[in-house]
Structure 1
Amino acid sequence: MSDDQEAGERVTEVATRLFAELGYDGTPMQLIADTLGMPIAEVTRLTGGKQQLYLAVMRRAAEAEDRMLTSATDGYGATIESAYEVVDAVLDFYVAHPEYRALWMHRWLSDATDVEDLESQYVLTQSVDVIDRVRENIPDEVDPVLLVGTVIWTVFGFLSGGRPTPEQPTRHEPTPDEIDHFRRYLHAFVRRMLAPSG
């Protein structure tokens, strides 16, 4: 790997963290450069500018998600255990990669509105691919796009604030016990959504 490639990797990693924490709109290039201890002109030279850097960050996130989803759905069997494996893979991935979850959540809040088409390019493509792999045990009355979306929305929402309890009513990072509890909830949800009607 060349020096420029190594430096570019470092810039992408720092930008990923900052875009995840502050959003695209809230992260000036100067902050990225200052965090790296690098002149802004050098960051721009390495990346092509803020929008190109953001696109590289989002592409990296989508590629990691694709690898996880492909691995989780390869050899998928029309069994409830296979469905559990898919939702477990999604949950475990976003527990391990909160920065990717945060990047998408910023977009849901209208961040980076001048960067269009990422949802159709990545999210819709991923959803269609997953649906194609698991369609055989989705009942006719269940909308497969909404089913996949509901799993993602629920995982993102839970991991963003935990499970409110009388002891801890405020938003917080979920504990391992809370994640285990939530995993059981996801299994119950998927089991009921995939159960044939009648």
Structure 2
Amino acid sequence: MMTERTMPAGPHGDEAGDPGQDAAGTRLLAVAGRLFAELGYDGISTQTIAAAAGVGLNVIAECYGGKSGLYIAVMEQSIGPWHQEVRAARRQGPPGAEGLIWLIDSYLDYCLEHPEMPRLWIYRWMSDATDIGGPEERISAPLMEDVMAIVRPAVAPDVDPDAALWTFVWAIHAYMQAGFLDDFGRPRRPENPQTLDRFRHHLHQLVWMMTAPDPSLREPR
């Protein structure tokens, strides 16, 4: 079950404030997330974000301290709910291949429910918002620690756990952009049931290959 999504505290703390301003801050977060995912942080102005959210520029400053603070809040919210699930699974989830399959399935499902998330991070990896530090240290590093606690004991001893994880992340993020291409080069959207079933099955096959203790069982057929 998906963890309830909550808005990260803004730069001025999380004390109860004016309900109207709280609503404006929540709306800003949603609109900015969509725009950053579509155009990147560097490709959108503060004025455009404010206009799209129907608020004044002062609201961005009051709620998040400015565009950079809004960006950090968007990045935190983009993956925060899934991180909560991973924390719970690290404590109580199944071990081994079953735990890794849960991890991959839940991440794929989360990306399907929040398609802006992989786009935000792809932009980040392509040197978007390089003048803003923090997402890697505040968001990625703690998440990776919990994720690797599931991946590392699951894969076979001769499999690189970091490479295994990033194989799945890269595959899922790329799949979310276009799904599969048909014989004519046309995209079959990620949410297409048949396409999704094929991709999920492929990911499961990769898991079993990476977790099989006997290397001969991982030979391509």
Normalising by structure 2, report the TM-score. 0.81
Where structure 2 has 5 or more consecutive residues not aligned to the other structure, the ranges are: 1-15, 216-221
Match of 1:51 in 2: 68
Q: Distance in 2 between matches of 1:49 and 1:172?
A: 39
Q: Would the aligned equivalents of 2:179 and 2:188 in 1 still touch at CA under 8 Å? A: yes
SS of the aligned residue for 2:51 comes to helix
**CA drift at 1:171:** 4.1
The answer as to 2:28 corresponding to 1:21 is no
**CA drift at 1:132:** 1.6
Q: Would the aligned equivalents of 2:78 and 2:117 in 1 still touch at CA under 8 Å? A: yes
Q: Distance in 2 between matches of 1:187 and 1:162?
A: 17
Q: Would the aligned equivalents of 1:18 and 1:27 in 2 still touch at CA under 8 Å? A: yes
Residue identity matched to 2:26: E
**CA drift at 1:117:** 3.7
What is the aligned length?
Answer: 197
Match of 1:83 in 2: 100
Which has the higher mean CA deviation after the structures are superposed, 105-114 or 75-84? 75-84
Residue identity matched to 2:150: R
Normalising by structure 1, report the TM-score. 0.90
The answer as to 2:36 corresponding to 1:4 is no
Alignment of 1:151-170 (within 5 A): 151-167=168-184, 169-170=185-186
Q: Distance in 2 between matches of 1:27 and 1:115?
A: 15
**CA drift at 1:146:** 1.5
Alignment of 1:131-150 (within 5 A): 131-150=148-167
CA shift in 2, pair 1:47/1:127, >3 Å:
closer
The answer as to 2:206 corresponding to 1:189 is yes
Match of 2:218 in 1: none
Q: Deviations over 1:118-176 (max 9, x none)?
A: 22332232122122234323222111111111111110011111112204x13453212
